[in-house]
Amino acid sequence: MFRLDGKSAVVTGAGSGIGQAIATLFARAGARVGVLDLDEAGAAHTVEAIRKEGGRAEARGCDVGDAVAVAAAFEALTAGLGGLDVLVNCAGIAHVGNVESTGEADLDRIYRVNVKGVFLCSQAAVGTMLRKGSGVILNMASIASLIGVADRFAYSMSKGAVLTMTMSIAIDYMKRIRCNCICPTRIHTPFVDQFLAKSYPGREQEMLRKLSEYQPMGRMGTAEEVAAMALYLCSDEASFITGQAFPIDGGVLVV
């Protein structure tokens, strides 16, 4: 169960964190994986790790907000991987601030990656999938797509758009392409550690504890836990699921 043997998958933002965990797990499940990331060194590192385990992967540096770069990357990866069966839109950036403190440049930066990036990559993938007659798109939304999160105005807006893009793709291509999204709460990745070191020097452990306590279960999730859900949703075992949002939230929505 939960195998991707013979399938080709592209994972954006796979140079680190959740995207890296998804790409690695997909390769272990038998997929040929295209690793897409703005950080070319990070993408190469992910591919190296996959190949060391005997998997097949190719890296490609790409700014997901650049239409020309996205088209070129998907053309190259589709040719190198022998097609495209699965796309995971995981590339994303964060911003802290409310409607007053969010500047126009902040909003544009978030929108360009988190919304336009998902749009461009999905658009690039759909044509190939339709020619084959089937495909799966999985988007990384957020718990902020479903509830209000303080001081995450621009980020929440962008992830709300990801949620509705998921539903739109699902309804438009109902019998040919499945599309779902995952809505994680705080996930402990290197990005979180870097953010805390930059924003709260000397208070990293205090703030890490506060971030962990936000989840009723008392901890943040792991990238591997999100990857496990992603594998299920992209596998044939989830063939009757589309247009849905799957929280992985440590109990946030329960209380």
Nearest to 170 by CA among 162, 223, 37, 20: 162
Is 250 within the bounds of a domain? no
Q: Are residues 147 and 209 in the same domain?
A: no
Q: Are residues 206 and 228 in the same domain?
A: no
pLDDT digits (tens, 9 = 90+) for 20-30: 999 999 999 99
Q: Are residues 74 and 167 in the same domain?
A: yes
Is 51 within the bounds of a domain? yes
The values of phi and psi at residue 157, to 5°, are -55, -45
User: How far, in Å, CA of 120 to CA of 113, rounded?
Assistant: 10
Q: Are residues 133 and 205 in the same domain?
A: no
pLDDT band at 8 (very low <50, low <70, confident <90, very high): very high
pLDDT digits (tens, 9 = 90+) for 168-185: 999 999 999 999 999 999
pLDDT tops 90 at residue 158: yes
The values of phi and psi at residue 121, to 5°, are -70, -40
Q: Which residue has the tokens 């109990």?
A: 251
Q: Are residues 58 and 117 in the same domain?
A: yes
Is 255 within the bounds of a domain? no
pLDDT digits (tens, 9 = 90+) for 223-243: 999 999 999 999 999 999 999
Is 1 within the bounds of a domain? no
- Contacts of 215-218 with CB under 8 Å at 24 or more apart are 215/185, 215/186, 215/249, 215/250, 215/251, 215/252, 216/250, 216/251, 216/252, 216/254, 216/255, 217/250, 217/251, 218/250
E strands, the chain, are 8-12, 32-37, 56-61, 86-89, 135-140, 177-184, 187-188, 221-222, 245-248
Which pLDDT belongs to residue 118? 98
- The tally of domains found in the chain comes to 2
Residue 57 near residue 35, CB atoms below 8 Å: yes
Which pLDDT belongs to residue 201? 92
Q: Mean pLDDT for the chain? A: 97
Q: Are residues 49 and 90 in the same domain?
A: yes
Q: Which residue has the tokens 């797990």?
A: 25
Q: Are residues 101 and 178 in the same domain?
A: yes
Torsion of CA 229, 24, 142, 9, to 10 degrees: -90
Residue 164 near residue 150, CB atoms below 8 Å: no
What CATH number does residue 122 fall under? 3.40.50.720
Q: Which residues lie across from 42 on neighbouring strands?
A: none
Is 64 within the bounds of a domain? yes
Which pLDDT belongs to residue 195? 83
Residues forming the active site: 155
pLDDT band at 31 (very low <50, low <70, confident <90, very high): very high
Q: Are residues 180 and 204 in the same domain?
A: no
Is 79 within the bounds of a domain? yes
Q: Are residues 215 and 122 in the same domain?
A: no
E strands, 133-174, are 135-140
Which pLDDT belongs to residue 11? 98
Neighbour tally for 2: CB within 10 Å: 14
Which pLDDT belongs to residue 191? 84
Q: Are residues 33 and 110 in the same domain?
A: yes
Is 93 within the bounds of a domain? yes
Is 192 within the bounds of a domain? yes
Domain that holds residue 95: 8-185+223-241
pLDDT tops 90 at residue 198: no
Q: Are residues 170 and 214 in the same domain?
A: no
Claim: this prediction has a pTM higher than 0.85: yes
Nearest to 153 by CA among 200, 106, 211, 207: 106
Q: Are residues 165 and 51 in the same domain?
A: yes
